Amino acid sequence: MKQYQPVTEEVIQALRRIVGEKYVKTDAAVLDVYKSDESLAPSFWRAPEVVVLPANTQEVAAVMKVANAFAVPVTPRSAGTSVSCGAVPAYGGIVLLMERMNRILEVNEEGMYMVVEAGVRTIDIQNLARSKQLMYAGDPCSSDSCLIGGNLATNAGGNKAVRYGTTRHQVYAIEVVLPNGKIANLGAPLKKCSTGFCLDQLIIGSEGTLGIITKATLKLVPLSPYKLDVLAVFTDLAKATALVPQLVKAGLNPTSVEFMDNNFVRSASDYSELRLPHYEDGFYDIISIETFNETELDEKMEKLAAICEQCGATDIVEADDRVWKVRRNCLESTRVFSKVATSEDLVVPVTKIADCIQHLVEESKNYDFRVFCLAHAGDGNLHFQILQCDLSDDEWKRQVEAFRAVAYPYVYQLGGRLSGEHGIGLKRLEYMERYTDPVELDVMRTIKTALDPQWILNPGKVMGPQ
């Protein structure tokens, strides 16, 4: 295990000179708040030695220079909505909290972009864009609480990724503080660029290990005037999952295709205090279609209905706000059953999503834990929420490991990977190193070491030093 220096009184005083005494927190009660994220994985939680709240990029850079001088690790943190322990300070040190940097600096309607600081809530970006008849297409399910900096760090996905891509596809440029404290401006508001390395995309999705994103220029797109959401209800898992490849082949170009198994249908409905069709036995596919032409929308909806019927849908109804409320409350609803859980974030080629869900659901029946399955099915990203329930801690760990020993090789056999949108963080570190090509890992470590020789920026995430 790599050794770092502790946060001394000298370090505390240096940090206070940078951000002010008010924004350097050392109280035990405060530090305890920042030991965890939303992962429900207490075995990974670690408390920081100090929490620092910078107000601007220059203060972030100054903090990084202090950290380098004293060999103290730094963990950047947005809203803490990660479920992979990405913002947990694995080695203690400094938690750098970005929430004060919360300004929207510019909305350019003609150029269709927005310039924001890292601490802006994603939903505020979405709402402001919508007020201008534009759309910011990044749409993680935690958009009402997560911050854009965290979205950028993890390359967050979400409900609209099928059509518009993940967070990295919504970005023109970023301002980033490198591990040595230097400030870099990467990218530009251009449709294309072949000028040197694509460094902005290297930083995006690196989970705060290569730099701290402090500002971003986000792409906006025209807001589609015509939209309809459809709920296709199935009473057979195989039929529900087989729908997805058919939608892709049909060329409908849906904005989202979401899948919920019946465990999630019932738990999220109860949590939301709602009753939707086939509560007792239904598997849900939620499909969103957007167009700029009413006739085109009608044509696509007819084709969609026909495909759902051919695949064996029991009911096909409009998905109103109640359906989306149930969908948004899925993960939160499982806490009623267990305070300890782990969320898998597997991703496979879209053509393999049906096989993967069916195979792993069947495999999960060999274990005593409880499994709920959710998927951004249109882009091949599936989530298994595995609940400890009545198992002892030791038996829970043993059975989860046994399931992963079957599930992960199977996913890689299909051409998939460990994470589609949540990132590796601390929680999946050992699996990243076990299942990733050693040559690929070596390239990543070479880049990390070149930018961060002391490995002080978010250490213990994505990969460990050799």
Q: In Å, what is the CA distance from 428 to each residue of 15, 142, 423, 461?
A: 32, 21, 8, 8
Q: Which of 291, 285, 284, 343 is nearest to 142 (CA)?
A: 343
- With residue 195 as reference, give the H or E element that holds it: none
pLDDT digits (tens, 9 = 90+) for 342-351: 889 999 999 9
The per-residue pLDDT for 141 is: 83
Give the mean pLDDT of 209-213. 98
φ/ψ of 130, rounded to 5, equals -65, -35
d(CA 69, CA 3): 15
The beta strand positions in 67-170, using DSSP E, are 74-77, 94-97, 104-108, 113-117, 134-135
**Can you tell me which residue has the tokens 């949540």?**
422
What tokens does 105 get?
Answer: 């600096």
Q: Is 294 helix (H, G, I), strand (E, B) or coil?
A: helix
Is 59 within 8 Å of 18 (Cβ atoms)?
yes
Which residues, in sequence order, are bridge partners of residue 94? 50, 74
Query: Is pLDDT of 466 > 70?
Result: no
**Can you tell me which residue has the tokens 């004060």?**
100
Is 138 within 8 Å of 129 (Cβ atoms)?
no
Query: Is pLDDT of 41 > 80?
Result: no
pLDDT digits (tens, 9 = 90+) for 308-340: 999 999 999 999 999 999 998 998 899 889 888
> How large a percentage of the chain has pLDDT more than 90?
89
Query: Is pLDDT of 43 > 90?
Result: no
Give the mean pLDDT of 186-199. 96
Within 311-371, residue ranges assigned H as helices are: 321-328, 330-333, 353-364
Contacts with 402 (C-beta within 8 Å, 6 or more apart), sequence order: 367
Is 148 within 8 Å of 154 (Cβ atoms)?
no
Q: In Å, what is the CA distance from 23 to each residue of 6, 18, 99, 352, 355?
A: 19, 9, 11, 49, 51
Contacts with 32 (C-beta within 8 Å, 6 or more apart), sequence order: 47
pLDDT digits (tens, 9 = 90+) for 53-86: 999 999 999 999 999 999 999 999 999 998 899 9
pLDDT digits (tens, 9 = 90+) for 111-157: 999 999 999 999 999 999 999 999 999 999 888 889 999 999 999 99
DSSP class of 213 = E
**Can you tell me which residue has the tokens 């940097």?**
101
Q: Which of 100, 2, 9, 98 is nearest to 49 (CA)?
A: 9
First to last CA, the chain: 10
212-219 sheet: strands from edge to edge: 104-108, 113-117, 212-219, 171-177, 183-187
Q: Is 153 helix (H, G, I), strand (E, B) or coil?
A: helix
Query: Is pLDDT of 251 > 90?
Result: no
The beta strand positions in 235-314, using DSSP E, are 256-260, 283-291
The per-residue pLDDT for 233 is: 97
pLDDT digits (tens, 9 = 90+) for 358-381: 999 999 999 999 999 999 999 999
d(CA 66, CA 354): 50
Give the mean pLDDT of 394-407. 96
- pTM recorded for the entire structure: 0.94
Helices and strands: H and E segment counts in the chain: 16, 18
Query: Is pLDDT of 269 > 90?
Result: yes
**Can you tell me which residue has the tokens 């099928």?**
162
pLDDT digits (tens, 9 = 90+) for 409-465: 999 999 999 999 999 999 999 999 999 999 999 999 999 999 999 999 999 999 987
Sorted by where each starts, the structural domains of the chain and their CATH numbers stand as: 104-222 (3.30.465.10), 226-414 (3.40.462.40)
d(CA 354, CA 357): 5
d(CA 136, CA 298): 25
Is 338 within 8 Å of 391 (Cβ atoms)?
no
d(CA 46, CA 224): 44
In the chain, % helix, strand, coil (3-state, to 5) comes to 40, 20, 40
The per-residue pLDDT for 1 is: 61
Considering the chain, what is the average pLDDT of its residues?
A: 95
